[in-house]
């Protein structure tokens, strides 16, 4: 039996401005209204459906824990979410999952959460065929994609002799090459794109880490000795992982492990690693233009436009990518699309909030969208999921006016609790303890108008919370509360 391990910790900066650190690409509804994580979970669902099969293991960050748990629930899968206190790359993430596996000989399928593989049946068949090889002690199986062009954005695997079961010995792993080397390797015919998918027994991976990267394994073992469990969430001890070095599994193990086999994967695959990769998933028109949403291309060719919110027009443009979001727009030549990560670094150096967060911010209870702001006021659109509640809280420096536009709100204000229905409103004075709850079966939508001398997200004193987030401690100073709290 195969137990899926989904690696959800990436920051996804190469698809900025749609993907940002606070809401990376694996969670963004990118393909037919579904996120890449949702599609990944659908792809591995058949392994979890087998009788007696342990649930999926997702490895992600504390910041995104509710997004991961929600995706698991929507996919109808049972399992657990391992929460990394700090990102330490794939070697650490895979080690934690192997230590958390159902049993030492459990066959684990390590899969990135942000790849697109549309042929679910072909994927499942290949994994089950490869399971025979992966069940041999000491063998790690990986998968390579037949290259269709000399990409400089992918790593490569050079195949050695054929084993006879459809796999090949791995001769070597090759990091992202320059254009000349990529062309030479493609003409040689013995290389595959590295898909970053691995299949092996838990004890095989742990033995390989003990041999090749014993310091990483030691840190992970120490972290997993004293885990904290909260529903589906499993929190390893933080201190050992802070001390752990960050290393990819390719560098830490695969390049030196003597028993690595590769299976050529012949179905469609994309790591969705750049806007060019996203564009290529959209059908072109007669001029090579690829349009999503409300984009229009006039007297233009080979243009990609992502415009879900408003009309975006390209006039007389060739070979460009245009990505529109409510608070940021990217315009780049397609030849430069691989360098978007550098743009994010520049924005971070400028302390630009658009580098990290969207105007719309997701929370475990729903989301809020900052519609408008000015001196001493801010307007937000708030959506609360059915039967969800914001924290019980108060503000030191702002008052709030709530207007319900859809659904029914249950409002706690001081000692009173009452209902507010569509087209009704209520007022929360400065310093008043309050809470918002959606008692209905449909999402609650409301407009929040904030007014006051300071409207920052740290002016929240959380007194009680349904999601285990930090609450007020009497010994904390007001400044500490401001530093530790986040909106709702």
Are 2-265 and 360-484 the same fold in CATH? no
- Sequence-ordered strand ranges (E) for 166-245: 168-174, 191-201, 228-230, 233-235
Q: Give the model's pLDDT for residue 11.
A: 79
- Average pLDDT over the chain, rounded to an integer: 91
Nearest to 7 by CA among 142, 196, 262: 196
Task: Please give the full DSSP string across 28-66, using - where no structure is assigned.
Answer: SEEETTEEHHHHHHHHHHHHHTSTTPPPEEEEEEGGGHH
Dig out the tokens for 411 from the structure.
């409002």
Task: Please give the full DSSP string across 207-228, using - where no structure is assigned.
Answer: HHHHHH-HHHHHHHHHHHHT-E
Could you tell me the CATH superfamily of domain 2-265?
Answer: Spore Coat Polysaccharide Biosynthesis Protein SpsA; Chain A (3.90.550.10)
Residue 14's alpha-carbon distances to 26, 148, 349, 443, in angstroms, are: 12, 21, 17, 32
Enter the pTM of the model: 0.87
- Per the CB < 8 A criterion, the answer to whether 112 and 154 are in contact is no
Residue 53 CA, distance from chain mean position: 25
Query: Quick check: 382 pLDDT over 80?
Result: yes
Domain over 360-484 is classified CATH 2.60.120.10: yes
Cα(232)–Cα(229) distance, integer angstroms:
7
Dig out the tokens for 316 from the structure.
């007389």
Q: Indicate the DSSP class of residue 251.
A: I
Dig out the tokens for 256 from the structure.
């030196």
**Higher pLDDT among residues 11 and 34, named by residue:** 34
* Confidence tier at 297 by pLDDT (50, 70, 90): very high
- Per the CB < 8 A criterion, the answer to whether 197 and 110 are in contact is yes
Residue 256 CA, distance from chain mean position: 29
Dig out the tokens for 446 from the structure.
């409301």
* Confidence tier at 457 by pLDDT (50, 70, 90): confident
Most confident of the ranges 62-66, 335-339, 440-444, 459-463: 440-444
Cα(379)–Cα(63) distance, integer angstroms:
25
What percent of the chain stands above pLDDT 70? Answer: 96
- Per the CB < 8 A criterion, the answer to whether 113 and 38 are in contact is no
* pLDDT tens digit sequence for 206-257: 999 999 999 999 999 999 999 999 889 999 999 999 999 999 999 999 999 9
Q: Give the model's pLDDT for residue 472.
A: 63
Domain range summary for the chain, segments of one domain joined by +: 2-265, 275-349, 360-484
Q: Give the model's pLDDT for residue 299.
A: 97
């Amino acid at each position: 039996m195969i137990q899926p391990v989904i690696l959800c910790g990436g920051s996804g900066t190469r698809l900025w401005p749609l993907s940002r650190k606070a809401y990376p690409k694996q969670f963004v509804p990118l393909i037919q209204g579904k996120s890449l994580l949702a599609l990944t979970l659908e792809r591995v669902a058949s392994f979890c459906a087998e009788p007696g099969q342990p649930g999926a293991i997702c490895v992600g960050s504390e910041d995104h824990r509710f997004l991961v748990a929600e995706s698991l629930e929507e996919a109808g899968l049972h399992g657990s979410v391992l929460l990394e206190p700090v990102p330490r790359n794939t070697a650490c993430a895979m080690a934690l999952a192997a230590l958390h596996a159902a049993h030492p000989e459990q066959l684990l399928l390590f899969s990135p959460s942000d790849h697109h593989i549309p042929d679910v049946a072909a994927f499942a068949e290949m994994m089950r065929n490869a399971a025979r090889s992966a069940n041999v002690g000491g063998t790690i199986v990986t998968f390579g994609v037949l290259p269709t062009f000399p990409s400089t954005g992918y790593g490569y695997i050079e195949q050695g002799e054929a084993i006879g079961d459809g796999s090949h010995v791995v001769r070597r792993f090759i990091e992202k090459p320059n254009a000349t080397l990529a062309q030479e390797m493609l003409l040689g015919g013995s290389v595959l794109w590295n898909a970053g998918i691995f299949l092996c027994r838990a004890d095989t991976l742990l033995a390989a880490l003990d041999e090749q990267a014993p310091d990483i394994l030691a840190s992970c073992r120490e972290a997993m000795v004293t885990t904290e469990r909260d529903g589906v969430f499993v929190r390893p001890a933080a201190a050992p992982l802070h001390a752990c070095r960050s290393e990819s599994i390719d560098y830490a193990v695969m390049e030196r492990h003597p028993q690595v086999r590769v299976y050529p994967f012949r179905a469609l695959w994309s790591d969705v690693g750049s806007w060019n990769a996203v564009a290529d998933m959209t059908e072109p028109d007669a001029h090579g233009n690829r349009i999503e949403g409300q984009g229009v291309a006039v007297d233009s060719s080979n243009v990609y436009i992502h415009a879900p919110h408003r009309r975006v027009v390209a006039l007389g443009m060739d070979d460009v990518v245009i990505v529109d979001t409510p608070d940021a727009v990217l315009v780049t030549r397609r030849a430069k699309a691989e360098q978007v990560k550098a743009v994010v670094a520049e924005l971070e150096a400028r302390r630009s909030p658009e580098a990290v967060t969207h105007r719309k911010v997701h929370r475990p209870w729903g989301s809020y969208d900052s519609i408008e702001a000015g001196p001493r006021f801010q307007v937000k659109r708030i959506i609360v999921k059915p039967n969800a509640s914001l924290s019980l809280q108060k503000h030191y420096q702002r008052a709030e006016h709530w207007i319900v536009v859809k659904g029914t709100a249950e409002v706690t204000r001081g000692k009173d609790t009452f209902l507010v229905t569509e087209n009704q409103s209520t007022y929360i004075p400065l310093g008043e303890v309050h809470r918002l709850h959606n008692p209905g079966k449909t999402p609650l939508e409301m407009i929040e108008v904030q007014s006051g001398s300071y409207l920052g997200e740290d002016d929240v004193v959380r007194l009680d919370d349904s999601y285990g987030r930090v609450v007020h401690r009497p010994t904390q100073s007001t400044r500490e509360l401001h530093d530790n709290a986040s909106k709702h």
